[in-house]
């Protein structure tokens, strides 16, 4: 399809970390026909409500950034919610969009779709070749189902749905809840509070040896809009930086940026998760896109946002 700045685009999950960044990116590029709905005004788990929304608004493009997300603790403690909520949301959006005549659908998944012990870096072809990481398999299975639903609707109906698999994301608007957030925002808050309270130590979950890849959320949004404009094939596309860092080194980086002068303690009784998760991104690079924000700069910008928005930080369960 020919996408232009007047094309009506619905961004699902626009108040979340990724969705808000996609809105910023679209607006910065001149798109001015963007449709959004708050969770209060449209329950994406309600199929009748979603179908009614599509019938009324008739967007030509849907970007699905709506999901229940969280770190190891949240995934491990709320498995039923992670699989049911995410399946419900994406089923309603994909089917509703197809039936309403949407011309392009962008589904956002996660790097946790890949097997726990898959070779590194993780290629798109590794999907469904092994067992998942147990602590987040519920979320991963839901996202895998979303990918396959997009492919099934393309195969049977010719529905133009693409699936993007971002690595670990962080940035302005993140969830900084200490129990249910991802590792990077949790570290920022931990170190900041330890600094303010003049604590002697900060405890980090696990051994610190696992390696993770981190992508600044505004880079992810830029990739999503770029691929919306330039990519329309059935295959999954990994979205990342192509570089990873150990949790210990990440903690030390955050410690330095926040200015905490105490000691790091690693709680080896807590789960590490997968030993390494690095995406292979040659497919993305061949499309002509690369990340622009290095990790230190991104963490500095995220910490700056955290400092300026503490009165209304997003904390979810």
Task: Give the Cα separation of 152 and 261 in Å (integer).
Answer: 53
Residue listed under structure tokens 């963007």: 34
Q: Quickly count: other Cβ atoms within 10 Å of residue 254's Cβ.
A: 27
- 68 has binding-site annotation: no
Instruction: Confirm or deny that 270 is annotated as ligand binding.
Output: no
Q: Is 127 annotated as a binding residue?
A: no
Residue 166 assigned as binding residue: yes
Residue 9: helix, strand or coil by DSSP? strand
Partners of 64 in beta bridges: 12, 107
Please pick, among 114, 139, 153, 216, the residue that the annotation labels catalytic. Answer: 139
Confirm whether residue 235 is marked as ligand binding. no
- Residue 26 in marked binding region: no
d(CA 269, CA 124): 32
d(CA 315, CA 177): 5
| Contact between 220 and 18 (Cβ < 8 Å) | yes
Q: Is residue 32 marked as binding?
A: no
Is residue 312 part of an annotated ligand binding site? no
Q: Taking a C-beta distance cutoff of 8 angstroms, is the pair 265, 204 a contact?
A: yes
**Alpha carbons 33 and 270: distance in angstroms, whole number:** 46
Q: Is 16 assigned to a binding site?
A: yes
Q: Is residue 17 a known part of a binding site?
A: yes
Q: Would residue 216 show up in a list of annotated catalytic residues for this protein?
A: no
| Binding-site residue set for NADP(+) | 13-19, 108-111, 143, 166-169, 182
| Binding-site residue set for substrate | 190, 205, 212, 272
Q: Which residues are catalytic?
A: 139
| Binding-site residue set | 13-19, 108-111, 143, 166-169, 182, 190, 205, 212, 272
């Amino acid at each position: 399809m020919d996408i232009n700045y007047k094309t009506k685009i619905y961004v699902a999950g626009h108040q979340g970390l990724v969705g808000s960044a996609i809105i910023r990116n679209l607006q910065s590029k001149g798109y001015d026909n963007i449709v959004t709905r708050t969770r209060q005004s449209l329950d994406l788990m309600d199929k009748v409500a979603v179908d009614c929304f599509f019938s009324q608004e008739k967007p030509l493009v849907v970007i699905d950034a709506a999901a229940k997300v969280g770190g190891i603790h949240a995934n491990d403690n709320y498995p039923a919610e992670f699989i049911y909520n995410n399946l419900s949301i994406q089923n309603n959006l994909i089917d509703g969009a197809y039936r309403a005549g949407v011309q392009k659908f962008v589904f956002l998944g996660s790097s946790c779709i890949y097997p726990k012990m898959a070779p590194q870096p993780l290629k798109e072809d590794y999907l469904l070749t092994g067992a998942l990481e147990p602590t987040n398999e519920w979320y991963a299975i839901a996202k895998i189902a979303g990918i396959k639903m997009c492919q099934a609707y393309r195969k049977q109906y010719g529905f133009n749905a693409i699936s993007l698999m971002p690595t670990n994301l962080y940035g302005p608007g993140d969830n900084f809840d200490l129990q249910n957030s991802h590792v990077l925002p949790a570290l920022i808050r931990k170190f900041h509070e330890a600094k303010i309270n003049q604590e002697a130590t900060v405890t980090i979950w696990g051994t610190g040896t696992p390696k993770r890849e981190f992508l600044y959320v505004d880079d992810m949004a830029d990739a999503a809009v770029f691929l919306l404009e330039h990519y329309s094939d059935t295959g999954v596309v990994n979205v990342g930086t192509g570089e990873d860092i150990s949790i210990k080194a990440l903690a030390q980086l955050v410690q330095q940026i926040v200015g905490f002068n105490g000691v790091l303690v690693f709680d080896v009784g807590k789960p590490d998760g997968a030993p390494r998760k690095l995406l292979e991104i040659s497919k993305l690079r061949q499309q002509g896109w690369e990340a622009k924000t290095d990790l230190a700069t991104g963490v500095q910008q995220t910490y700056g946002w955290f400092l300026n928005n503490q009165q209304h930080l997003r904390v979810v369960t």
